[in-house]
Chain A
Amino acid sequence: MTDNPTGQLDEGALRALVPRVLAGMVRRGEDFDAAEDALQEALVEALRVWPERPPRDPAAWLATVATRRLVDARRSEAARHRREEETQAEPRPAATEEGDDTLFLLFCCCHPDLTPASQVALTLRAVGGLTTHEIADAFYVPEATMAQRISRAKRSLRGRRLDQPGDLAVVLRVLYLIYTAGHAGRVDLAAEAIRLARQLTLATGEPEARGLLALMLLNHARLPARFDPEGRIVTLDRQDRGLWDTREIAEGVRVLQSALAAQTEDRGPGRYQVEAAIAALHDDSPSAEETDWPQILAWYDDLVALSDDPIHQDPAAVLGRAVAVGHVLGADAGLRETDRLREVLGDRHRWHAVRGHLHELGGDLPAAAAAYSEAARRATSVAERDHLVRQAARARAV
């Protein structure tokens, strides 16, 4: 579409129609699998036809063309007359509630029986409206592999009841997985996750959905400062805070506040709201030195208290808390907190990197260098490995 010479088409707006159209088809009794395929074909057709002949009602156009595709597929008729039919397709707009549709489809795609990889792929295609090629690109796998993953996922949904309320916790986890998958190829997955989370908050009043959106916005706001022009990682304490996206921070804080305001006495904020609150405190701080660590530690206490057995159920939260403990009560106290995680996280690079940071905080540079080296040896991404090697070299050189 981007190199279409004949007209401009807002691809984002087109993709935003997908949940409504697909949910409408499934609700009418069409098979999810076949309807999703047919709608993908209709989207491709829309990109081709709309620049010259924009439809009066885009959603209705898509629904009509996709439904014809379904019928065609059933009859397995020649496709000769499709084009003429499509350019004339202008049916009545169907009255549907957009929010419900998004939620309904997210529950389908994030069915608890699917593997996380399948949930992510299906969500990006059926709710996000991305093509298989784009999704494959973003995850560094061949298109055929991603196509197979999607069709297997759809097959395993066949025959399952999709009209039951799904598991919102799974939906939130899938959207967060998409967010953290980062950026590769043509598609910015973090931006896509934010778009989907925003749609979700329109569909449900659940405060945790808003908590998730706030968390994404508040972290995403720092993205421009997270890498230097050479692509090197810049840690939070060294980032140029002038590069942070203040508009995104403001929105994140607003969304978080509305989520927290919706809490009741007997039900405190969930994990995404707590993590968003921690991110907001970092974003709020004019400099690294002025970070409100006691307040951050208090939120980490809440986060850890959400699990019965945080060491095993949420070790990342315990590790994050150890950093806060180090800043509030001293490096040794922080290191003691990390000791409790040795068995669970001792072979992960993050555990060693945090210990490096705490040793450095306490002024023990040889120990910091050793910990950074251990972390570098275990890093699973090139940028992180290089960053940790530099940290080790820097600590040794002082």
Chain B
Amino acid sequence: MPQFLLLKYYRGGPEQHHPFPPMDQWDPEDVEAHLAFLRHVTELLKENGEYVEHQALTPERTWVRYGGPDAAPVTTDGPLPETSDLVAGWWKVDVESRERAVELAAYTSSEPGPGGGPLYEWIDVREVMSGSTSGD
């Protein structure tokens, strides 16, 4: 069955449907409700038999490239426009179809935001290329 990443971003993606401040400025109970929902999504995926893994990334980013022969790697953490995409984490799911992945992403995006209403966060759905060699 196809596998997909449901990617969450710190920033980037289409314009927010519903602008919201960074999470550290939310009321504590809203933060708790939000995090509880994310745990619930993971539990739900496990219950459905659709779960593969989930990961969260720190927002720290270092770009690295080969520096050339006998030279140290070149690194940079900027300058990058504030709008550049920055992945925050993902769920990897194993589902019947792309439609099911989209359905799960939409549900994830209904996570509670400040004030308890849905966040309408954009979720990036990406298919994972299979490494298996088909028998057909």
A residues with a Cβ closer than 8 A to B are 115-118, 139-142, 144-146, 148-150, 152, 179-184, 189-190, 193, 219-220, 223, 226-227, 231, 379-383, 385
Please indicate the chain A residues that have their CB under 8 angstroms from the CB of B2 in the complex.
380
Which stretch (B7-15, B26-34, B44-52, B69-77) binds chain A? B44-52
- Contact mask for chain B residues 106-132; partner A; CB cutoff 8 A; 1 contact, 0 none: 000000000000000000000101111
Q: Known contacts A145-B46, A380-B2, A382-B130: does B96 contact A115 (CB below 8 Å)?
A: yes
> Nearest chain-A residue to B94 (Cβ)?
A141
B133 within 8 A of A: yes
B96 & A116 in contact (Cβ 8 Å cutoff):
yes
Q: Known contacts A189-B135, A223-B135, A381-B134: does B129 contact A145 (CB below 8 Å)?
A: no
New A-B pairs, 15, CB < 8 Å, besides A145-B49, A227-B133? A115-B96, A116-B96, A140-B94, A140-B130, A140-B131, A141-B94, A145-B51, A150-B49, A181-B135, A182-B134, A183-B132, A184-B131, A219-B135, A381-B130, A381-B134
> Nearest chain-B residue to A177 (Cβ)?
B1
Complex partner residue of B131 from A180, A190, A382, CB under 8 angstroms? A382
B136 within 8 A of A: yes
22 residue pairs of the A-B complex, CB under 8 angstroms, read A117-B49, A139-B1, A140-B94, A141-B52, A142-B51, A142-B53, A144-B46, A145-B50, A145-B94, A148-B49, A149-B49, A152-B48, A152-B49, A180-B134, A180-B136, A181-B132, A182-B135, A183-B133, A189-B135, A231-B133, A381-B133, A382-B129
Please indicate the chain A residues that have their CB under 8 angstroms from the CB of B53 in the complex.
142
A380 & B130 in contact (Cβ 8 Å cutoff):
yes
A145 & B127 in contact (Cβ 8 Å cutoff):
no
> Nearest chain-A residue to B51 (Cβ)?
A145
Please indicate the chain B residues that have their CB under 8 angstroms from the CB of A183 in the complex.
132-133, 135
A184 to B130, CA, bound (A): 11
- Contact mask for chain B residues 47-91; partner A; CB cutoff 8 A; 1 contact, 0 none: 111111100000000000000000000000000000000000000
How many B residues have CB within 8 A of the partner chain? 22
A142 to B92, CA, bound (A): 11
Please indicate the chain A residues that have their CB under 8 angstroms from the CB of B52 in the complex.
140-142, 145
Judged by DSSP, the binding face of A is helix
A220 to B136, CA, bound (A): 8
A17 to B53, CA, bound (A): 35
B131 & A381 in contact (Cβ 8 Å cutoff):
yes
A116 to B62, CA, bound (A): 43
A184 to B50, CA, bound (A): 19
Q: Known contacts A140-B3, A141-B52: does B129 contact A179 (CB below 8 Å)?
A: no
CB distance from B104 to the nearest CB of A (A): 14
Q: Known contacts A139-B94, A140-B3: does B133 contact A182 (CB below 8 Å)?
A: yes
> Nearest chain-B residue to A233 (Cβ)?
B133
Please indicate the chain B residues that have their CB under 8 angstroms from the CB of A141 in the complex.
51-52, 94
A378 to B48, CA, bound (A): 28
B129 & A380 in contact (Cβ 8 Å cutoff):
yes
Please indicate the chain B residues that have their CB under 8 angstroms from the CB of A149 in the complex.
49
Complex partner residue of B127 from A190, A220, A380, A383, CB under 8 angstroms? A380
Please indicate the chain B residues that have their CB under 8 angstroms from the CB of A220 in the complex.
135
> Nearest chain-B residue to A190 (Cβ)?
B135
A91 to B47, CA, bound (A): 40
B1 & A383 in contact (Cβ 8 Å cutoff):
no
Complex partner residue of A219 from B3, B96, B136, CB under 8 angstroms? B136
Q: Known contacts A115-B96, A148-B46, A148-B48: does B135 contact A179 (CB below 8 Å)?
A: yes
CB distance from B23 to the nearest CB of A (A): 29
